[in-house]
Amino acid sequence: MELRLTSDEVIKLKEREDIYSALKRAGIYLVASCGGKGTCGKCKVKIVEGECDVISYGKLTQKERESNIILACQSIPKSDVLVEILKESRLVVGDKIAIARTKDLVEYLKSYGVDINPAVKRIYIELPPPTISDNISDLERLKRTLNEKGLRNMRFSHGFVSTMAEILRSSNWNVELTYLNGEGVSGEAIFLTDPESCNRRHGIAVDIGTTTVVVYLANLSTGEIVDIGSTYNSQMRYGDDVITRIVYATEGGGLNELRDAVVTDINTIVNSLMERHSIEACEIDTATIAGNTTMSHIFWGLNPGSIREEPYIPTLNHFPQWKGGTAKLSINPQSPVYTVPCVASYVGGDIAAGVLASKMHRNPEIALFMDIGTNGEIAIGNNEWLMTAACSMGPCFEGSGVRCGMRATSGAVESVKIDPETYEPAINVIGGGHPMGICGSGMIDSISEMFLTGVIDQKGKFVKGKTDRIRQGEEGLEFVLYRDEAHNKDIVLTEVDVENIIRAKAALYAGIKTLLSEVGFTMDAIEKVYIAGGFGNYINVERAIILGMLPDIPKERFVFMGNTSITGAYLCLLSEELRREAEDIASKMTYIELSVYRSFMDEYMSALFLPHTDMSQFPTVASRLK
């Protein structure tokens, strides 16, 4: 049997294979938030011809079913089928992946008072060729010259010596030695290269996000970014969030598959960057990886199972150095691969890198760092102390668990303004044109606007009769943000969606309050708020305060940092001193497990209102409501 696509691809089907699996096998990825379990309702396709055994229609509406729309993961073809993949179901690299501003990064690094000084160094050496009278071994010859240059007691691995003789001779005894921590006594020789053919020094900084993978290719001599690349993390096809991936890695036995997926992503980017700039693998001397604890474990091929089981203990927080070849990266196989250390199961190397990038650990003012995604990771502190916690916000701000939710890519409603007289919404769509769904920032805008205009009450319940945009939908009351009669697909926010979003914002706010009260501070003590992560870039602070998601403190205290994980990875790549600082940050941070704090639950319950049950915590919102 065959699965044909309206875009002309043809896939031979295996026995009783569902459409989602067949597409995945052919390298065509659908949005699959639940990893193919039939619960997210995102993998929609339209059957144009042929018949399927439909196991479940999941969240599909009656109208969608009548239009022959099915869930790919729940549908097994019974005959040859012709299928159209709906635009919103196809996983594409988004045009809104946040990349930190790269051109000022060298200056930014220098603002730490350090120079470009990667842990991996290179030295040019000329060896006297051996003769009958000077007949010591190749390695003794190399050691003798290194001693003369002050590089003593260096270690030489088998990988190093196995290629040494050939390179020494082919380069006529003039070589470049790449080595690690060579000053003093404990250096390690990494590899030899011929300066004629391999004289440029590069490194890669990698951010392994749950959703995206970002790579910076940097010149290790100047610190300049040569190029950047990014893609969706292909582990997405196994599920959207870390928990689904952990389950797949452990119960599904898919650890190697997940590891291969992300390593392939990194290599695809690195290979294309090398090709674009005519760089050889031997010219990439090192790599630095930052990711959350689960992503770091999977990259290392470590079973992440214990991360999700009480008492939530990771296998490693501080990772030993690895070699490019062992990690299967397409860089020099001998190159050291450094992983930014993690703090706890749900506070990873991306947060240690982020705190490093924010500089909050160097300043006396009390600052709050937050990375908002499926998990809200929070760090509070200054140059004397750092505390951290993570709260589960659910995937709604990333587009899942919300009826018309989608990621912040083309076609997503990203901002909303509701006319207080007519209740007509004015929407902005990413990329312009026809809206296909609503992303996190659009949700924050919509709910704060619905609250200010009285469409919903403090509990997030719709006020019936307020406007004819409130209607009865298949899942209860809903507000129509955009009427789309032509495509038969209105963009709505349901009462259940509002409830999910309120729960997510309540978890974040309660996390911040609990962490602060642990150290005896209140919200007013926060002098700076650093917001990291792609989603953070598009948050309208004022609206997020109205929602009760962010503390009601002056707007000028909020700083949007973009992808701080990749910035921190870059800093660790280019400076040995800053790498040590990242290690220090991770060791110094005190992690608190919010789920065991009774006060967290109390704070959470109080925050399940708009903006909060205690309006004195939101004075600017209270004054707007008067």
Residues near ligand FES, by CB under 6 A: 20, 32-34, 36, 38-43, 58, 71, 73
Host H or E run for residue 217: strand 212-219
Shorter beta-carbon distance to ligand FES: residue 436 or 546: 436
Shorter beta-carbon distance to ligand FES: residue 42 or 259: 42
In the complex, minimum distance from the CB of residue 535 to ligand FES, in angstroms, rounded to a whole number: 21
- The whole-angstrom separation of Cα 58 and Cα 76 is 15
Residue 190: which of 180, 181, 200 has the closest Cα? 180
Is the omega angle on the peptide bond into residue 619 within 30 degrees of 0, that is, cis?
Answer: no
In the complex, minimum distance from the CB of residue 64 to ligand FES, in angstroms, rounded to a whole number: 13
Shorter beta-carbon distance to ligand FES: residue 22 or 73: 73
| DSSP code string of 298-361 | HHTT---GGGGSTT---S-SSPPPEETTTTT-SS-TT-EEEEPPP-BTTB-HHHHHHHHHHTGG
Shorter beta-carbon distance to ligand FES: residue 69 or 263: 69
Shorter beta-carbon distance to ligand FES: residue 38 or 203: 38
In the complex, minimum distance from the CB of residue 41 to ligand FES, in angstroms, rounded to a whole number: 5
In the complex, minimum distance from the CB of residue 38 to ligand FES, in angstroms, rounded to a whole number: 5
In the complex, minimum distance from the CB of residue 274 to ligand FES, in angstroms, rounded to a whole number: 34
Q: Quick check: helix, strand or coil at residue 10?
A: strand
Shorter beta-carbon distance to ligand FES: residue 54 or 523: 54
Contact assessment for residue 299 and residue 291, using Cβ atoms and an 8 Å cutoff? yes
Contact assessment for residue 18 and residue 76, using Cβ atoms and an 8 Å cutoff? yes
In the complex, minimum distance from the CB of residue 474 to ligand FES, in angstroms, rounded to a whole number: 17
Q: Which two tokens stand for residue 78?
A: 């019974």
Q: Which two tokens stand for residue 157?
A: 């691995």
- The whole-angstrom separation of Cα 194 and Cα 409 is 45
Angle at 625 between CA 468 and CA 370, to 5 degrees: 95
In the complex, minimum distance from the CB of residue 35 to ligand FES, in angstroms, rounded to a whole number: 6
Q: Quick check: helix, strand or coil at residue 372?
A: strand
Shorter beta-carbon distance to ligand FES: residue 244 or 514: 244
User: Residue 328 burial by CB count (10 A; 0-12/13-18/19+): exposed, middle or buried?
Assistant: middle
- The whole-angstrom separation of Cα 207 and Cα 316 is 18
Cross-sheet strand order for the sheet of 425-429 = 425-429, 412-418, 437-438
**Distance spanning both ends of the chain, measured CA to CA:** 66
In the complex, minimum distance from the CB of residue 90 to ligand FES, in angstroms, rounded to a whole number: 13
Contact assessment for residue 381 and residue 369, using Cβ atoms and an 8 Å cutoff? no
In the complex, minimum distance from the CB of residue 72 to ligand FES, in angstroms, rounded to a whole number: 6
Find residue 53's DSSP bridge partners.
76
- Cβ neighbours around 515 below 10 Å, total: 24
In the complex, minimum distance from the CB of residue 480 to ligand FES, in angstroms, rounded to a whole number: 24
Phi/psi for 420 (5° steps) reads -70, -15
Shorter beta-carbon distance to ligand FES: residue 56 or 264: 56
Contact assessment for residue 510 and residue 607, using Cβ atoms and an 8 Å cutoff? yes
Shorter beta-carbon distance to ligand FES: residue 73 or 307: 73
In the complex, minimum distance from the CB of residue 18 to ligand FES, in angstroms, rounded to a whole number: 9
In the complex, minimum distance from the CB of residue 30 to ligand FES, in angstroms, rounded to a whole number: 7
Residue 233: which of 211, 252, 255 has the closest Cα? 211
Q: Quick check: helix, strand or coil at residue 246?
A: helix
Q: Which residue has the tokens 């290179």?
A: 122
Shorter beta-carbon distance to ligand FES: residue 40 or 429: 40
Shorter beta-carbon distance to ligand FES: residue 20 or 530: 20
Shorter beta-carbon distance to ligand FES: residue 47 or 367: 47
Strands 174-180 and 120-126: antiparallel
Shorter beta-carbon distance to ligand FES: residue 34 or 589: 34
- The whole-angstrom separation of Cα 324 and Cα 309 is 31
Shorter beta-carbon distance to ligand FES: residue 37 or 588: 37
Q: Where are the beta strands (DSSP E) in 99-185?
A: 120-126, 155-156, 174-180
Find residue 591's DSSP bridge partners.
388
In the complex, minimum distance from the CB of residue 479 to ligand FES, in angstroms, rounded to a whole number: 24
In the complex, minimum distance from the CB of residue 74 to ligand FES, in angstroms, rounded to a whole number: 6
